[in-house]
Amino acid sequence: MPDINVDGLTFCFPEGWQVTKFDDWAFYRNQFSKMHDNIKAVDVLALSPDADTLWIIEVKDFRKQKRTKSELLYEEIWKKVFASLAALLPAQANAANTNEEKFAEDALCASHIRVAFHGEQPKNPSKLFPSSYNTADLQQKFKSLFRAIDPHALVVNSSKMPDCIPWTVKL
């Protein structure tokens, strides 16, 4: 079972899934992100065993540290998803790492693209650790922002995982 750790959260995928921590790719870090200031990538890309579905996953854990960025959360996520998708095309042709090149090639052949934001918030919000976003509002923004990529983009957390999510998360 492929497991991947992001910000202290362990994402566990079923056997057969190809899973990668995309913002750690050498191609992204050494080439793509240097093309322009502020290019950011999503945390995880996951490809189903039949290579039919590519999941693009951004992860944030606000349980111990509140959000301090001035940029709206949905805009930050949208930019990361957009840049990550844009990076896959040149990665399939120009990545020096053959695993990254092969993953990009397989990902670009996927018939379906899914977008998920996995955000953990404090169980008992307070002034010191407030909620960083309203799930319903963020989900509504996702419907319009990601319509052309994934009309059913998701906002999830460890206590709210719909059946269509193929992974589990250990806190």
pLDDT of residue 65: 84
Please state, in angstroms and rounded to a whole number, the distance separating the CA atoms of residues 54 and 112.
6
DSSP alpha helix (H) spans, the chain = 26-30, 73-94, 98-108, 135-145
Say how many Å lie between the first and final Cα of the chain, rounded.
17
Query: What is the arithmetic mean of pLDDT over 110-114?
Result: 98
Region of residue 151 (phi > 0: left; psi between -120 and 50: alpha; otherwise: beta) = alpha
Instruction: Show me where the domains of the chain are located.
Output: 3-170
CB contact at 8 A, 74 and 119: no
Q: Is the pLDDT of residue 118 over 80?
A: yes
- The chain-wide mean pLDDT, for the chain, equals 95
Instruction: Tell me whether residue 105 is exposed, middle or buried, using C-beta atoms within 10 angstroms of its C-beta: 0 to 12, 13 to 18, 19 or more.
Output: middle
pLDDT of residue 82: 97
Cα diameter, the chain: 49
Query: What is the arithmetic mean of pLDDT over 34-59?
Result: 96
pLDDT in tens, 5-33: 998 999 999 999 999 999 999 999 999 99
Number of H-type helices and E-type strands within the chain: 4, 8
Q: How far is CA 105 from CA 22, 85, 87, 100, 119, in A?
A: 14, 12, 11, 9, 29
Paired residues of 61 in beta bridges: 120
pTM, full prediction: 0.96
Phi, psi (degrees; rounded to nearest 5) at 57: -125, 125
Paired residues of 97 in beta bridges: none
Please state, in angstroms and rounded to a whole number, the distance separating the CA atoms of residues 77 and 164.
21
